[in-house]
């Protein structure tokens, strides 16, 4: 069971424990309330109320896990673990895999595989997705192992403190002078899934660099500065360089059976340890073979 344990310094003497947990520990109001109701907040070994006044030297102990139920069946599906500790699990998702069960996909999802992984390790945690990917986009996905980490990682995402890079192949010679795409994205009122460039939409920013050009194709490295649905695919398609194989915003390809888009790298500060993490997911086999078919020298 994960926990937060710390000794109160003089700076926070006289504060209510509710204020300390919210302002200093960055716990959500909901998590604080639930933890208090479940008796999971202790000071100096004893349970306390949320109006308890802290004193210098107090030992705070907050148990982060409660008994939780999630109706996702564990399935023994191979997964590629990039990073794991007591707080989080970072996987490299395969293309064609749905992240979470839906009416159309009730099994075979990343969540089914993650639950099996947790149970095999004897961990009672449920699936808490910090990030998501489209079914046919491969690469890095973060799962939190407790409510605190999920809340803190979600905050880091909202504060743009998680750097996200993707690799993509497009048809044509992408120009060097386009290094930043700043175009608003709006949900297409005429389509259930599509997004379009429209002034009514949310500001959306993608940074682009060309890694290599070969035989009429470009290999791009893209950094998301915002996280809109289909952002990279919409931005590149609008500029006339749709992601290769993207049938929603471009056309299919006989060289790859899905969009050639891979969540390649994540950089962020670990919310528990403060360590700077730089996590990379190698290309999946189909994209690695695509680069060879085209004649790119780059290996990722």
Task: Give the 3-state secondary structure of the chain.
Answer: CCEEEEECCHHHCCCEHHHHHHHCCCCCHHHHHHHHHCCCEEECCEECCCCCECCCCCEEEEECCCCCCCCCCCCCCCCEEEEECCCEEEEEECCCCCCCCCCCCCCCCHHHHHHHHHHHCCCCCCCEECCCCCCCCEEEEEEECCHHHHHHHHHHHHCCCCEEEEEEEEECCCCCCCCEEECCEEECCCCCCCEEECCCCECCEEEEEEEEEECCEEEEEEEECCCCCCHHHHHHHHCCCCECCCCCCCCCCCCCCCCCEEEEEEEEECCCCCCEEEEECCCCHHHHHHHHHHCCCCCC
Of residues 90 and 150, more confidence is placed in: 90
pLDDT of 230-248, one tens digit each? 999 999 999 999 999 999 9
What is the pLDDT at residue 1?
Answer: 46
Among the listed residues 65, 134, 246, 286, the single catalytic one is 134
Q: Is the pLDDT of residue 291 over 90?
A: yes
Is 278 assigned a catalytic role?
Answer: no
Quote the percentage of the chain above a pLDDT of 70.
97
Are 94 and 138 a contacting pair, CB within 8 Å?
yes
pLDDT of 93-128, one tens digit each? 999 999 998 888 889 999 999 999 999 999 888 899
For the whole prediction, is pTM greater than 0.75? yes
Q: Is the pLDDT of residue 130 over 90?
A: yes
Q: What is the mean pLDDT of residues 280-300?
A: 93
What is the pLDDT at residue 2?
Answer: 63
Of residues 11 and 142, more confidence is placed in: 142
What is the pLDDT at residue 184?
Answer: 96
Q: What is the mean pLDDT of residues 63-76?
A: 76
Look at 69-73, 163-167, 295-299 and tell me which has the smallest mean pLDDT.
Answer: 69-73
Q: Is the pLDDT of residue 66 over 80?
A: no
Query: Mean of the per-residue pLDDT values for the chain?
Result: 91
Q: What is the mean pLDDT of residues 186-200?
A: 86
Q: What is the mean pLDDT of residues 249-263?
A: 95
């Amino acid at each position: 069971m994960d926990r937060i344990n710390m000794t109160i310094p003089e700076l926070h003497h006289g504060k209510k424990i509710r204020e300390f947990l919210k302002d200093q520990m960055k716990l959500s109001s909901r998590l604080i309330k639930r933890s208090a109701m479940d008796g999971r907040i202790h000071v100096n070994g004893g349970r306390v109320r949320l109006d308890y006044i802290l004193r210098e030297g107090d030992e705070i102990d907050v148990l982060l896990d409660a008994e939780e139920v999630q109706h996702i069946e564990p399935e023994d599906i191979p997964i590629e673990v990039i990073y794991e500790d007591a707080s989080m699990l970072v996987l490299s998702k395969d293309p064609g895999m749905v992240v979470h069960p839906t009416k159309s996909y009730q099994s075979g999802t990343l969540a089914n595989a993650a639950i099996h992984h947790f149970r095999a390790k004897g961990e009672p945690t449920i699936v808490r997705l910090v990030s998501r990917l489209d079914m046919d986009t491969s690469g890095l996905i973060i799962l939190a192992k407790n409510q605190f980490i999920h809340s803190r990682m979600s905050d880091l995402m909202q504060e743009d403190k998680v750097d996200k890079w993707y690799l993509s192949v497009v048809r044509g010679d992408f120009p060097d002078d386009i290094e930043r795409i700043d175009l608003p994205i709006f949900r297409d009122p005429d389509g259930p899934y599509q997004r379009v460039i429209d002034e009514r939409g949310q500001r959306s920013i993608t940074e682009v660099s060309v890694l290599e050009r070969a035989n009429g194709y470009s290999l791009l490295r893209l950094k998301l500065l915002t996280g809109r649905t289909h952002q990279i695919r919409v931005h590149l398609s609008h500029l006339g360089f749709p992601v290769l194989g993207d049938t929603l915003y471009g056309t299919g390809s006989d060289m790859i059976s899905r969009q050639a888009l891979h969540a390649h790298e994540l950089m962020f500060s670990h919310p528990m340890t403060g360590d700077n993490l730089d996590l990379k997911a190698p290309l999946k086999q189909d994209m690695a073979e695509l680069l060879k078919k085209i004649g790119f020298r780059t290996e990722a």
